[in-house]
Copies of this chain bind each other. A is one copy, B any other.
Amino acid sequence: MKNNIDYSLYLCTDQDLMSTATVEEAVEQAILGGCTVIQLREKHSSSLSFYKTACRVKLITDRYHIPLIINDRVDIALAVDADGIHVGQSDLPCSVVRKIIGEDKIIGVSASTLAQAIQAEKDGADYLGVGAMYSTSTKTDAKVVTMEELKKIRKAVKIPIVVIGGINQSTLVNFKDCGINGLAVVSAIISQKDIKRAAKKLLQQYKGE
């Protein structure tokens, strides 16, 4: 499965940015709107709470055959048999994650420089999350990546790239001819009242329909 992932519209969840729905409801609406990958990110939960949420979300992603990626916590990914894990530069190194999780699972790595991108591919990453493309309130500590750096990264690595950080209806147009594989979105989907509609509009605009 992991070599045939459609990365077009990649949702990162964020409970702090949600209005009323549960994470699993939000995820289902996002999938119905066309999201192709779900990353579950729970930075402020206990391990038990993260695990329980992941179990509930897995039921949804399995039902729609959408890959579920767990942010940072390899143990949670193993516990719920998620499709993969996403690690940032302050998480477990990709090479260590690969040893724990095996060859069949997806590993995504956040990269904000060419050097990080090349290293991640070398360490066995299956895709890159490149960003932040714009300065964003979701991740205030993220380094902003220039369009030039993104192009260099695209030239240097063969694995799929999703761009992240400030991707929304207005900015996504900038990524149409970059050779990237998809948009990773947080608030432009998860904070919206109508999550399904928000996802659908983003996907339509990205695909140029």
Contacts and interface: CB of A to CB of B under 8 A. Distances in A.
A79 B99 CA distance: 8
A93 interface: yes
Given A47-B72, A72-B47, A79 B100 contact: yes
A176 to B, nearest CB: 34
A74 interface: yes
7 contacts: A47-B87, A49-B90, A51-B92, A51-B96, A75-B75, A79-B92, A79-B100
A58 interface: no
Nearest to A77: B75
Contacts of A76: 92
A153 to B, nearest CB: 21
A16 interface: no
Interface string A73-106: 1111011000000010111110010011000000
Contacts of A89: 48
Contacts of A46: 90-91
Nearest to A51: B92
B100 A48 contact: no
Contacts of A72: 47
A48 B93 contact: yes
Given A47-B72, A72-B47, A78 B100 contact: yes
A63 B51 CA distance: 35
